[in-house]
Homo-oligomer: A and B are copies of this chain.
Amino acid sequence: MSGDIIREESMTDLWNVWFSELHQNRVGLTIKVKRLLYSGESPFQRIDILDTYEFGKMLVLYGSIMITEKDEFIYHEMLGHVPLFTHPNPKEVLVIGGGDGGTVRETLKHPEVERVTMVEIDELVVRKCQEFFPEVAGQISNPKTRLLFADGEKFLSSTQEKFDVILCDAADPIGPAEVLFQKSFHQMAYDRLNDDGIFVTQSESPYFHQRTFKKLYENLSRIFPIVRVYWAYIPTYPSAIWSFTFCSKKYDPLADFDRERYNKLQLETNYYNDEIHHAAFVLPNFIRKLING
């Protein structure tokens, strides 16, 4: 062995790859990457799946983090359980987008739900999530799930079906999801809801995307009689604070929280609970000012 050349670093030391998601090229989250697992291109977008040291596996669409194994529970619990514990009998649920399946998974924890229709434009996202994120995507194959590969807006404009709850689990308003942030889409969602229906949409960061957030709130307030914003801390989303806009024809998420069903279901959640259900609607002043200003 003597005479061999000894490397001073191990191969691990030399692998030093960082994924960064930047906001306006001024600030961002940077994450050390363990391995590149998949990189592909669908008819709609670039899709990457990375394994990371801090957050486990991570799905990235056109450069934006969609989910990570470690923190996806927050977004999906908060998008799903707030409306589903407000509506007293959510039988028919529609998820627009949400190709990773996390929202479907949380929705199906409610035994009242008889069917969840998932309308995702990009089949490749679904297939890759089923392959790489089985714990997120597993309920896509549940018999209660009806999976349609279609444009969410076109589906809503052509269907005659009605829903109790519609969840807009859209990617950011660049790329294929842009249409899901338009008022015309929100009007269609209103029209496809039953008379006591609830529509919730993710509404971007109230810190980094204030114009989008504010515009969404204004548009939705012109359509729905009850509109309330709630928020969650999500480590891997831009700015790490995220908003949801709750829109309803009849039920108020604060007055009509269904404590009996909540207590009976004994959900095992890692973020959501009955107190968070209410506290999430309490807005820091800087968000209040965006809405009222």
Please give the residue numbers on chain A whose beta carbons come within 8 Å of chain B beta carbons, in ascending order: 20, 22-32, 52-55, 74, 207, 232-233, 235, 239-241, 269-273, 275-276, 278-279, 282-286, 288-289
A28 closest partner in B (C-beta): B30
Contacts of A27 in B (CB 8 A): 29-32, 52-55
Contacts of A272 in B (CB 8 A): 284-285
CB A88 to nearest CB in B, in angstroms, measures 24
- Known: A22-B30, A27-B53, A240-B241; 19 extra A-B contacts, CB below 8 A, are A24-B54, A26-B32, A26-B52, A27-B55, A28-B30, A29-B29, A30-B30, A207-B235, A233-B241, A233-B284, A235-B239, A270-B285, A270-B286, A271-B286, A272-B284, A272-B285, A273-B285, A276-B285, A279-B282
A284 in complex: contacting residue of B207, B271, B278, B282, CB < 8 Å: B271
A285 in complex: contacting residue of B22, B25, B55, B269, CB < 8 Å: B269
Contacts of A270 in B (CB 8 A): 284-286, 289
Contacts of A235 in B (CB 8 A): 207, 239-241
Q: Would you list 25 pairs from A and B whose C-beta atoms are within 8 A, ordered by A residue? A: A20-B30, A25-B32, A26-B31, A26-B32, A27-B29, A27-B32, A27-B53, A28-B29, A28-B30, A29-B30, A233-B240, A235-B239, A235-B240, A239-B240, A240-B240, A270-B286, A270-B289, A271-B284, A272-B285, A273-B288, A275-B283, A276-B282, A276-B284, A278-B282, A279-B282
Q: Sort A-B residue pairs by CB-CB distance and give the 10 closest, nearest first.
A: A240-B240, A279-B282, A279-B279, A27-B54, A26-B53, A26-B54, A271-B284, A275-B282, A30-B30, A233-B241
Contacts of A279 in B (CB 8 A): 278-279, 282
Contacts of A74 in B (CB 8 A): 284
Contacts of A52 in B (CB 8 A): 26-27
Contacts of A207 in B (CB 8 A): 235
A237 closest partner in B (C-beta): B240
For the complex, give the distance between the alpha carbons of A275 and B282 in Å: 6
For the complex, give the distance between the alpha carbons of A284 and B288 in Å: 21
Most buried by B among A54, A279, A284: A284
Contacts of A29 in B (CB 8 A): 27-30
Contacts of A232 in B (CB 8 A): 284
A31 closest partner in B (C-beta): B27
For the complex, give the distance between the alpha carbons of A105 and B52 in Å: 41
For the complex, give the distance between the alpha carbons of A52 and B272 in Å: 35
